[in-house]
Structure formats: C-alpha cells, structure tokens
Amino acid sequence: MDKLQPSDIDGKFKDLPDVPYYREVGSCEAAIDRLFEGEAENLCEHDAKGGELYISYTALYKGKKCFIKIIREDNPYSKNIFYSYEWKLKENLSQYGWLDSVGAELVVPDKGAVFKLQGQLYYLTSYEYVHGATLVELYRDYIIASRYFQADSKRKKLLQSFRRCGQVLAAINHNPDAINGDTEMLFKQPVRLLLSDRNGTNEIYDAASDRFYLIDLSEEECEGNKGDVYSSLKCWLDNLTDLNIHAQKKYGSGKRSFSHLFVDLLEAFIEGYTDTFPIHDHEKLSLMIKSMVRDDLKEICQDESWLESFANLIGSRL
C-alpha cells in the first residue's frame, strides 16, 4: 500500500487528505477488502446512478453496518466537487455539537482510499450506516401510497421531516451570536456552516428517533450558493419547488394536483425555520420565504407554460 502523492493524481482527488493509495486492484470489492483489512462481512452492492461512475455498497465491519461509496474520477456529476471538505468537517466535528439541539448530525467518513482499476482512478469512502429515508423518498412514498389509501401516517411523517428540516437549515444558516432584531439583515449574513448540496436527497430523516442526518458533505462549487443565508435558503427552496414539479409531472394529472401538498410542506418547513428566531417577526420572515418561492415559480412558468395553473393554485394559498 502506497501513500497518495500529488504527482499520482492531477484531477479532482488531488486535494484529499493522507488516505491510502492502492496502485492497482482487480475489482472494487478487492479495494474494499483492503480498506477493511479483510474484515468486511456481508458485502452487498446496491443500485446507483451512473453505473461504474458511482457504486455503493453496505457491509458489516466489527459488528457495525457501514455505507460505502465508490466514485470514478471522470464522473461528470461531480466535476465541481471537493471531496476533501468532508474530511475537514470530520477533523473539526466537535465544533458542530450545536446541531444536536435541533436533532441533527453530520455523517462524516470513517475510512477512505484511492485506487486504480483497469487504468481508471477511483475514490472509496465508508460511513456509519444511518437509518431512515431521504426527504425525496418520504415524499415519493406518500405520493404513491395516497393514490390507493388515505396514508395519514405517511403524510404526518413527511410533514414532520420538513418541519425538522426547517429547524436544521436555520441552525446551519444562522449564527446565534450574530442574530439581531433586523429580519431583512438575516438573509445578508454569511452562513454558520456551509453545506452547499442540500437538495432533499442528501438529508435522511429517521422518524423513529426524530433524527435528521446530513450526508454527502463534500463541497460543491455552485453559482447559486454564495455562502450567504439568502442563497443557501434559495437553493433549498428551489429544490423543493423542483421536487413538487417533478411529482406533478410524473404522478399528477388535471384531476390530481399536488399544489396543496406543496404549500403544506412549505408551511411545515417555515414553521421549523422560524422557531429558531424568537426575537423576530415570524409573519414577516414567513412572507419573505414565501416571496422567494413565488418568484421561483414565476421564473419556471416562463419556460413551461403548463405549470401556470399549478403555480396559480400554489400562489392562491401562499
């Protein structure tokens, strides 16, 4: 096993910390075996988008379940991602203990390595396995189930996940030491913790423990997220809008609109978000967030006219 040298890697993995470098292995499973020193058990590959570009596994290591992901260097979906960021978060994990006050935690890597397979460079990382479902999975689960039965328990779980998400995003965005009574100034401040890729698939909610896990913490260059509260909040709200529009396209119809669900989820999110600010005008803060959503819907409707009636239904309730 070699140490990773800057001369070995010219691409996206060059800024990684001091992780092992396996110059050539026979398979991804062989690389995992080396990473866990032959002690990984019950190794199971899971479906993942991108084929060889992105592969995921679960395994048992010393009695604990792990989640393992493998990313190929030429993966087009992560060309602007800096994988070293999550290792920096791991080094300073004790600084983020305040996340526990909103029932959240960062899922940072346990082990990592870089290896070559058939001349291609891969990045391998393992994480503690966390229970629950992503917000997108919870949303889809309710949408599908509600076609056939009332699904009240699934709806309740979905709303609670978005309420918790609001609390967590507020905690990430706002440093309590910098909060004053000026509501509009809140959005202009730098975020407390920069986590650029919050999109509904990188957040896992465990309803049994009411716990919120933040995953995929590598830093991504994103024109929309400039490190201030406004852009962080806007990126999340844009993804919420996209999630609902996608659901409307795939599962909805003229007789089955998800506009009411969109508003209910937004209200749950806002309730969680504003809970963080006892000294602020909750109504004003709520109106500011809703205004951001309305602006996003107007922009989308310019490109997709069929969404206008859907957006109008939402706008009538905001």
Residue 180: which pLDDT band, with cuts at 50, 70 and 90? Answer: low
Looking at residue 184, what is its pLDDT?
75
> Would you say residue 103 lies in a domain?
no
> Do 192 and 249 share a domain, yes or no?
yes
Q: Is 70 inside a domain boundary?
A: yes
The secondary structure of residue 1, as a DSSP letter, is -
Residues 120 and 150 in one domain: no
Q: Are 274 and 284 in contact (CB under 8 A)?
A: no
Instruction: Write the CATH number for 26.
Output: 3.30.200
Report the range of poorest mean pLDDT among 100-104, 151-155, 183-187.
Answer: 183-187
Residues 120 and 19 in one domain: yes
Residues 146, 54 within the same domain: no
Considering the domain architecture, whether residues 141 and 223 belong to the same structural domain is answered as yes
Shared-domain flag, residues 118 and 154: no
Residues 180 and 120 in one domain: no
pLDDT confidence of 242, banded at 50, 70, 90?
confident
Beta-carbon contacts of residue 61 (< 8 Å; ≥ 6 apart): 36, 39, 40, 41, 126
Do 251 and 226 have their domain in common? yes
* Residue 59 confidence class, pLDDT cut points 50, 70, 90: very high
Is residue 101 included in any domain, yes or no? Answer: no
Among the ranges given (17-21, 53-57, 264-268), the one the predictor scored with the smallest mean pLDDT:
53-57
Answer yes or no: is 102 within a domain: no
Query: Which DSSP state fits 52?
Result: G
186 and 268 housed in the same domain: yes
Which pLDDT score is estimated for 257?
Answer: 79
What are the tens digits of pLDDT across the range 63-113?
999 999 998 887 776 666 778 889 999 999 999 999 999 999 999 999 999
> Structurally, how many domains does the chain consist of?
2
Residue at 104 is within a domain: no
**E strands of the chain, at which residues?**
2-3, 20-22, 40-46, 54-61, 64-72, 81-82, 104-106, 109-117, 120-128, 133-134, 203-206, 211-214, 219-220
Provide the residue type at 221 as one letter.
E
Q: What is the pLDDT of residue 245?
A: 83
pLDDT of residue 7: 46
Q: Do 158 and 180 lie in a common domain?
A: yes
Residue type, 36: F
Residue 64 lies in a domain: yes
Residue 204 lies in a domain: yes
**Residue 294 pLDDT > 90, yes or no?**
no
Token output for 163 = 């309420």
Domain of 38?
2-96+109-128
Radius of gyration of the chain (CA): 21
- At 158, the pLDDT band (50, 70, 90 cuts) reads very high
Structure tokens at 103: 């029932």
Same domain? 258 vs 169:
yes
**15 lies in the same domain as 119:** yes
Helix axes 282-303, 308-315, angle to 10 degrees: 170
User: Do 71 and 51 form a contact (C-beta atoms < 8 A)?
Assistant: no
| Cα–Cα distances in angstroms (integers) from residue 295 to residues 81, 109, 178, 258, 315, in the given order | 28, 38, 28, 19, 10
